[in-house]
Amino acid sequence: MPDSRSTVLENRDLGGGVWLLRFRDPTIADDVGPGQFVMIACSPPYEPLLLRRPFSIQRVEGDVYEVLYRDVGKGTHRMTKMQVGDEVQVLGPLGNSFTMPRPDETAVLLGGGVGIPPMVALADALEAAGHTRWAAYVGVSGIVDEGCFVGFDERWPNDDRVRRATMDGSIGFEGHVVAAWLDRGITGPTRAYACGPMVMLRAVADTAGTHDVPCEVSVETMMGCGVGACMSCVIENRAYRDGDEAARKSMSPYDRWLLACRKGPVFPSDRIVLDDGGFLH
């Protein structure tokens, strides 16, 4: 978990407020698993300090890694000003990784918006392991957000395994990613993976449960430190919500509220509470 200085190689405006940021840093890029993230310092020197911002690592090539981000606030807006050659303080890689599927399983990857990058990382890892039995369903609201598809567009622009979806039908399948998945059907041994808005994760988890499909989700919680100190990223353990009074009394607050930065961000979908009440804040 090094706190390293990463050099900006590219900071590309993809349109619609979506940006692709590439860094060179062998310290971080050397040991990244699909689903892990970094905490990026976004305060230039001599300006008031802002908390670092968490971003999933989308792709690693040699000593270069990249993240996708959306310009939505003070921190991410400052990131749009980063220039090629700038050195940025970055902590990572942090968190855990997705479990690789069995050889006989089809890996189904579902990503929504800026939750697509972990699915890109997982697709890269599957290909590197020789596991070509995967299908990706990635979605955004409309064509204005098509920059979120960049990770799949750059490597698999015309691959039938990648199905793009938009809610308004401006690109690919019209509807959400779960509908796109079900439209093709679930056949044979399958393992699902997802990252995106909470409403999407609930739909993925419900669908996986209905079809007895093992499922892992990467949660996007608020996060201030990335190392378990600030306690801002907790999500509720399903065992507490579903347990009886005796089971609840036996659980400490640390058993009930799981740190997404340390125990996650990847969890089995049936282990955590995927609703707004599942967050402490």
Is 236 found in the same domain as 181? no
pLDDT number for residue 278: 57
Confidence of residue 8 (pLDDT cuts 50, 70, 90): very high
Q: How much of the chain, in percent, has pLDDT values that exceed 70?
A: 96
11 with 83, same domain: the answer is yes
Structure-derived torsion over alpha carbons of residues 144, 203, 181, 167, reported in degrees to the nearest 10: -20
Q: What CATH number is associated with residue 185?
A: 3.40.50.80
In this structure, what CATH number is given to the domain that contains residue 70?
2.40.30.10
Residues 202 and 238 in one domain: no
Mean pLDDT of 231-252: 91
| Residue 223 zone, left/alpha/beta (φ > 0; ψ -120 to 50; rest) | beta
> What's the whole-number average pLDDT of the chain?
94
| CB 272, CB 251: distance < 8 Å | no
Q: Is 101 a member of any domain?
A: no
User: 213 and 232, same structural domain?
Assistant: no
Question: pLDDT tens for residues 31-76?
Answer: 899 999 999 998 776 566 678 999 999 999 999 999 999 999 989 9
* Per-residue confidence (pLDDT) for residue 281, from 0 to 100: 46
Task: List residues bridging with 137 in a β-sheet.
Answer: 110, 163
Count of beta carbons in the 10 Å neighbourhood of residue 129: 11
Q: How high is the pLDDT of residue 32?
A: 96
DSSP string, 251-263: S-HHHHEEETTTT
Q: What is the pLDDT of residue 51?
A: 87
Same domain assignment for residues 200 and 213? yes
What is the structure's pLDDT at 132?
97
Say yes or no: 122 and 49 in one domain. Answer: no
Residue at 128 is within a domain? yes
Residue 185 in domain: yes
For 128-178, write each residue's pLDDT tens digit.
Answer: 999 999 999 999 999 999 999 999 999 999 999 999 999 999 999 999 999
Q: Per-residue pLDDT averaged across 247-268, rounded?
A: 93
Q: At what angle do helices 198-210 and 177-184 cross, to 10 degrees?
A: 20
| 100 located within any domain | no
Domain boundary, last residue among 94, 129, 160? 94
What's the structural domain count of the chain? 3
Are 233 and 270 in contact by the 8 Å Cβ rule? The answer is no
Find the domain containing 59 and state its range.
3-94
Kindly state whether residues 22 and 66 are assigned to the same domain: yes
- Give the Cα separation of 219 and 255 in Å (integer): 18
Q: Are residues 207 and 232 in the same domain?
A: no
Indicate whether 52 and 141 sit together in one domain.
no
Shared-domain flag, residues 201 and 116: yes
In this structure, the answer to whether residues 169 and 237 fall within a common structural domain is: no
Tell me the per-residue pLDDT of 90-100, one tens digit each, with 9 for 90 and over. 999 999 999 99
Extended strands (E) in the chain: 3-15, 18-24, 37-40, 53-61, 64-70, 87-94, 106-112, 134-140, 162-166, 173-174, 190-195, 215-218, 234-236, 257-259, 266-268
> How large is the average pLDDT for residues 112-126?
98
Max Cα–Cα distance, the chain, nearest Å: 57
Sequence-distant (≥ 6) Cβ neighbours of residue 145 within 8 angstroms? 16, 18, 113
Q: Rounded to 10 degrees, what is the CA torsion of 121, 25, 61, 51?
A: 20
pLDDT by residue (tens digit) across 174-209?
A: 999 999 999 999 999 999 999 999 999 999 999 999
- Under DSSP, is residue 268 helix (H, G, I), strand (E, B) or coil? strand
Per-residue pLDDT reduced to its tens digit, 100-116: 999 999 999 999 999 99
| Co-location of 141 and 214 in the same domain | yes
With respect to residue 270, please indicate whether it lies within any of the assigned structural domains. yes
User: Which pLDDT value is given to residue 222?
Assistant: 84
